[in-house]
Amino acid sequence: MADGSRAGIFEQIFIDIGDEQSIDDDLSTYSSHLLNMKRMMASCTPNTLLLIDEFGGGTEPTIGGAIAEAVLKRFVSKQTFAVITTHYQNLKHFAEDTPGVVNGAMLYDRQKMAALFQLQIGNPGSSFAVEIARKIGIPEDVIADATELVGREYVNADKYLLDITRDKRYWEGKRQTIHSQEKQMVQTIEHYEKEIEELRGKRKEIIREAKAEADKIIAAANAQIENTIREIKEAQADKERTRSARQQLQNFREEVGQMSQEELDAYVEKKRKQIEERRKRHQERQKAKKQKALSNSLVEGENKKVSSLRGDLEESALTVGSTVRIKGQTSIGTITAIEGKHATVTFGVMRTLVDLKRLEEAKDNPKQEETQTVIVSRQTQDSIRQKHLDFKQEIDIRGMRVDEALQAVTYFIDDALLVNASRVRILHGTGTGALRQVIRQYLNTVSGVVSAHDEHVQFGGAGITVVELK
């Protein structure tokens, strides 16, 4: 620092570091330290900083420690700022018991016997005399003799002090971990509270829309009822019944308007369930009609489908919608999809995957086609009856190549749709998962497939695909 430098709030700084003994001045090490202590006690104030190293050192430890403690009391009485280092136990006890004075220690790794260069405030430190002596290589009998001289209690007290320091570091780390986890938990709670608030807002918006839709329904119903009332008037019906109908409509409108949030939710849920039940009953009736039509009118239904798919196509390459037959056969079908070198062909109610090279465009005269159609329908009817008898609810494609497995699954699903199976199982195993992925991709393209999912873990898990059919 330069001569005119000033340091913070301190008006003066006293430093006693190192060895100031001098033969010329007739000063020993301890004499030089005492002379510095005398000057510090005479000049220190509350705005003074004292930096003292090895306080009380340089003389016999007992009297040196006692004089150092007495001097330290004077510094405390003058409320002087100071940073003091020492190895004396009495000064450590003094700092522990005296207000305004606090212990500190530089941390030390006992396992590695190396300084950590970290200052810890609040606990006195150890001198590590025994550990350092053992690390340097002092014979164990010498260390044991020294331990007996100073007393086991003194050595154990030093050890307990180290254990306390170690435990404090451990629990401090735990405290920081808990604090971090608490902070993360608070952030998580805030995140979910925000999401809940957003969901509440969306719920209110949906309810508002539902009320608006209910108002529209009521308005439409009101218009219909008004028309009915007008017709009743024109027919000169009972006026009392007309007024009663009007009053019932008004009561219903007021009842909906006065519903609480919970009552409106219950009302909407009730209507939703009623609509869902009607939809299910309608689907069941439609399914029953389809089954009845398939069993009772198979020939007529197939003839209509074949006739509706017959078109006047130009002589060109086969495309989706082309009327074709398999070479060497008389059955006529329609191409519904083309994938690479294969085409999906519908023959009446049957659907199959055929190589394009095996197909030819049907160009026979209409009369011949009608005759062939009748023959095919009878054959198809017998084939479907046989498939009903022979059909199994699952197929095993383990060990097949991908193209073989895909073709086998295609035929299997076609047969399942033909016999109106509601659920089937495909055993493909786990392996690399490639076969399972290809099968799932194909099933997603089939309109008759409702869903495809893994079997329950107790019955095969991911090694089996369960297919739900319409």
pLDDT of residue 370: 42
pLDDT of residue 41: 94
Structure confidence at residue 157 as a pLDDT band (50, 70, 90): low
Residue 165 contacts residue 172 (beta carbons within 8 Å): no
Residue 328 pLDDT > 80? no
State the Cα–Cα distance between residues 73 and 71, nearest whole angstrom.
5
Residue 17 contacts residue 33 (beta carbons within 8 Å): no
State the Cα–Cα distance between residues 327 and 88, nearest whole angstrom.
110
Structure confidence at residue 69 as a pLDDT band (50, 70, 90): very high
215: phi then psi, degrees, rounded to nearest 5: -60, -40
Pick the CATH number of 12-178 from 3.90.180.10, 2.40.50.140, 3.40.50.300, 3.30.43.10: 3.40.50.300
Residue 151 pLDDT > 80? no
Dihedral Cα 346, 351, 357, 359, nearest 10 deg:
-30
pLDDT digits (tens, 9 = 90+) for 412-459: 888 888 788 889 999 988 888 888 888 888 888 888 889 999 988 888
Q: How far is CA 116 from CA 133, 165, 234, 263, in A?
A: 19, 13, 105, 69
pLDDT of residue 300: 55
Residue 84 pLDDT > 60? yes
Provide the b/e sequence for 258-267 (b: ≥16 CB within 10 Å).
eeeeeeeeee
Structure confidence at residue 323 as a pLDDT band (50, 70, 90): confident
Lowest-confidence pick of 38-42, 56-60, 341-345, 408-412: 56-60
Residue 16 contacts residue 58 (beta carbons within 8 Å): no
Residue 108 pLDDT > 60? yes
Residue 302 or 249, more confident: 249
Q: Please spell the DSSP secondary structure of 424-443, one letter per residue.
A: EEEE---TTSHHHHHHHHHH
391-470: CATH topology is Ribosomal Protein S8; Chain: A, domain 1 (3.30.1370)
Domain locations in the chain?
12-178, 298-374, 391-470
pLDDT digits (tens, 9 = 90+) for 340-384: 788 888 876 567 788 888 888 876 544 444 434 444 455 566 666
Write the single-letter amino acid at 213: E
Within the chain, how many helices (H) and strands (E) appear? 12, 14
Residue 311 pLDDT > 60? no
What is the CATH code for 298-374?
Answer: 2.30.30.140
pLDDT of residue 373: 43
Residue 247 or 108, more confident: 108
pLDDT digits (tens, 9 = 90+) for 260-301: 666 666 665 665 566 667 667 777 777 777 666 665 555 455
Structure confidence at residue 101 as a pLDDT band (50, 70, 90): very high
pLDDT of residue 71: 93
pLDDT of residue 268: 58
Asked whether the domain spanning 391-470 has the same topology as the one spanning 12-178, the reply is no
pLDDT of residue 160: 64
